[in-house]
Amino acid sequence: MVEVRRSDVFEDLINVYKDPSISETRLFIKIAGETGIDVNGVSREIFTLFWQQFRTSYCHGNTEFTPAISPKCFVFPDALVAIGRILHHGFILHGILPAFLSKATMVCLLTPDIPLTQIVLPSFFKFLPPREADALQHAMQGYLVDECDRVQQIFSHFCFSGIPSQATLADHVHAIAFSVLVATPYYFIMKMKEGLQGCALGSEIWRGLGEAQVVYLLDELQPSAEKVAQCISTQPCSEKEQLVCSWLLRYVSNLEPPQLPIFLRFVTGMEYMTCTTKITVQFEDPLPQSTATRSPKACICFCTLILHSLYDRYEELKDDFDHILINHVLWGLDD
C-alpha cells in the first residue's frame, strides 16, 4: 500500500511510479489523514485527482488540451516516463484515461500513427477559445476578408506573422494546429509513451490501435446526460421510492455537460464513463423528520448512490444534489 497526500497527489504519484515495478502490481492507496480503505474507490479517486492536477498545472487548452512544454520537461524526463506508467496503470486497473487531452495528442501517444488533418483541425478548434475557433472556421469557409484582423491576431499568438491568401489559409491553419497539438509537445508525448510501452502488465491492449480506435475510445469515455441516466440501476421497494427514483433520473437527464463529470466523480470517483460504469441506488431507512439529513451520499467503491425517500417535491431533491455537487468538502471518502 502506498500513501499520498490529497493536496499533492500529482507529485506523490509520480514519485511512486518512478519505480517501474509498481505498474505490475494491484495498487492499493491510502490518502494521508483520511480514513477511506481502498476497495477500488480510493484509487479511482486518486487517479482522477492526478489527471485533474495534471490538466490544471501542466496543460493548456479550452475543451481539449495538450501538454504545455516547460524547461522542467527536459530537466526531469523521468517524471514524464512516470506519467506514462500512470496512464497505463490507471487504464488497466479502472479504465481511466485523460480524455481531456486532444484527440490529435492522444492518437500520437497511443498509436504509431501521425494524426491526420481530419483529427488535427477539429481538435485544434476545441483547443482554441470558442470565438477564435469560430473566426478561423468562418474565414476558412471563404470569408477571410471579413475575419482578416481576427485571423492575424490569432496567428500572432502562435508566432506566425502575416496573413495567407484565402487559397492557402487552410494549409496554414493545419500547420499551426499540428505544431501546437503534436510537434511542440512531441518530446513530452514520446517520454510518456516510453513509460506506457515499458509496462509489461497489460501492454498488449495498446498493440494494433489505430486512429479510428482511439477516437472511438475517447468518444465513449465522454459522459452525456442520456448515457449517465442509462447506467443508473434502481430497485425501489415502495411507491415513494419509485417517485424519488423518477426524480433522480429527471435530475440527471437535465444536467449540463460541465455538471456531468462532477456527478460521476461524486458517485464513482471518476469523471468519465467506462464500458462497465453502473450506478446502483439504495435507500436508507428514514429517520424522524426532525433529525433526518436528506443529503445524498455515495459509496464510490461500489458506485452506489444512497438516498432518503423523504422528498415531497422534485425541487427538494434538485436543491440537495446541487448543494452537494458544488461542495466537495461534504463528500467524504470512507469507501
**pLDDT tens column, 151-199:** 999 999 998 888 899 999 999 999 999 999 999 999 999 999 999 998 8
How large is the average pLDDT for residues 119-146? Answer: 96
How large is the average pLDDT for residues 96-116? Answer: 93
201 versus 133: the higher-pLDDT residue is 133
Can you give the CATH number for the domain in which 310 is found?
Answer: 3.30.2410.10
Domain-embedded: residue 335: no
Same domain membership, residue 256 and residue 192: no
Domain-embedded: residue 157: yes
Same domain membership, residue 160 and residue 245: no
Strand-pairing partners, residue 283, are: 307
How large is the average pLDDT for residues 57-79? Answer: 85
Same domain membership, residue 315 and residue 247: yes
Q: Are 10 and 72 in contact (CB under 8 A)?
A: no
- Residues composing the chain: 335
Backbone dihedral region of 159: left (phi > 0), alpha (psi from -120 to 50 degrees) or beta? left
Q: Is the pLDDT of residue 2 over 80?
A: yes
Same domain membership, residue 239 and residue 217: no
Alpha carbon distance, N-terminus to C-terminus of the chain: 16
- Report the distance separating Cα 30 and Cα 32, nearest Å: 6
**pLDDT tens column, 210-220:** 999 999 999 99
| High-pLDDT (> 90) share of the chain, % | 71
Strand-pairing partners, residue 210, are: none
| High-pLDDT (> 70) share of the chain, % | 94
Mean of pLDDT over the chain: 90
DSSP 321: H
Number of domains observed in the structure of the chain: 2
Q: Is the pLDDT of residue 250 over 50?
A: yes
Q: Report residue 101 CA to chain centroid gap.
A: 8
Strand-pairing partners, residue 299, are: 304
**Residue where a domain terminates, one of 221, 249, 275:** 221
Q: Which residues does 311 contact at the CB level (< 8 Å), separation at least 6?
A: 243, 244, 247, 294, 317
Same domain membership, residue 240 and residue 158: no
**Residue where a domain terminates, one of 168, 192, 221:** 221
Strand-pairing partners, residue 29, are: 2
How large is the average pLDDT for residues 205-212? Answer: 89
Q: Report residue 121 CA to chain centroid gap.
A: 21
| Confidence label for 288 from pLDDT (cuts 50, 70 and 90) | low
Same domain membership, residue 133 and residue 22: yes
Same domain membership, residue 153 and residue 115: yes
pLDDT attached to residue 290 = 42
- Report the distance separating Cα 92 and Cα 110, nearest Å: 14
Pairing of strands 59-61, 29-31: unpaired
Same domain membership, residue 5 and residue 141: yes
Burial class (CB in 10 A: 0-12, 13-18, 19+), 42: buried
How large is the average pLDDT for residues 234-245? Answer: 94
Domain-embedded: residue 103: yes
How large is the average pLDDT for residues 87-103? Answer: 94
Can you give the CATH number for the domain in which 101 is found?
Answer: 3.90.1750.10
- Report the distance separating Cα 12 and Cα 46, nearest Å: 11
- Report the distance separating Cα 13 and Cα 34, nearest Å: 17
Residue 169: half-sphere exposure toward Cβ, Cα within 13 Å? 21
Structural domain of 148: 1-221
Q: Which three-class secondary structure state does DSSP give residue 294?
A: coil
**Residue where a domain terminates, one of 221, 247, 275:** 221
How large is the average pLDDT for residues 70-74? Answer: 68
pLDDT attached to residue 291 = 41
Same domain membership, residue 277 and residue 160: no
For residue 139, give the C-alpha cell. Answer: 474565414
Domain-embedded: residue 168: yes
Q: Are 127 and 181 in contact (CB under 8 A)?
A: yes
Q: What are phi and psi of 294, to 5 degrees?
A: -90, -5
